[in-house]
Amino acid sequence: VAPSGVLLPEMQQFMRTLKEREAEIVAISDDADTLALGRTSIALPAGVPEWLSPLTAIVPGQLFAMHLAAVRDYDPDHPRGLRKVTETR
């Protein structure tokens, strides 16, 4: 997730490093150059103030995680390795 802002150049450099190592990148951004770095890309709405940008990335991130779990045949409601659930009353 790399929305426009002060950290975007660092995120782009990190993505280039990952690409050199042949990693598959899913780019979620409102910047066209950043989206081009990803094998798969999800465009965020443009023009959102930096302090609000995490809110625009939440839903695409959640949808990606949900579909990835479905493709891998994981049950997100019953994650493996979860041993304890604390109930709050």
Beta strands in the chain (DSSP E): 26-29, 40-43
Q: pTM of the prediction?
A: 0.72
Question: How far is it, in rounded angstroms, from Cα 15 to Cα 55?
Answer: 22
Give the residue from 4, 54, 61, 59 showing the smallest Cα distance to 29.
4
**Residue 41 has what pLDDT?**
92
**Residue 79 has what pLDDT?**
82
Apex 59 CA angle, 42 and 73, nearest 5? 85
pLDDT level of residue 64 (50, 70, 90 thresholds): confident
pLDDT level of residue 36 (50, 70, 90 thresholds): very high
Inter-CA distances, 61 with 32, 54, 55, 88, Å: 18, 10, 10, 27
Report the range of poorest mean pLDDT among 7-11, 64-68, 82-86. Answer: 82-86
**Residue 43 has what pLDDT?**
92
Backbone Cα Rg of the chain: 16
| Amino acid in position 48 | V
Q: pLDDT above 90 covers what percent of the chain?
A: 55
Q: Where are the chain's structural domains?
A: 8-71
**Residue 53 has what pLDDT?**
87
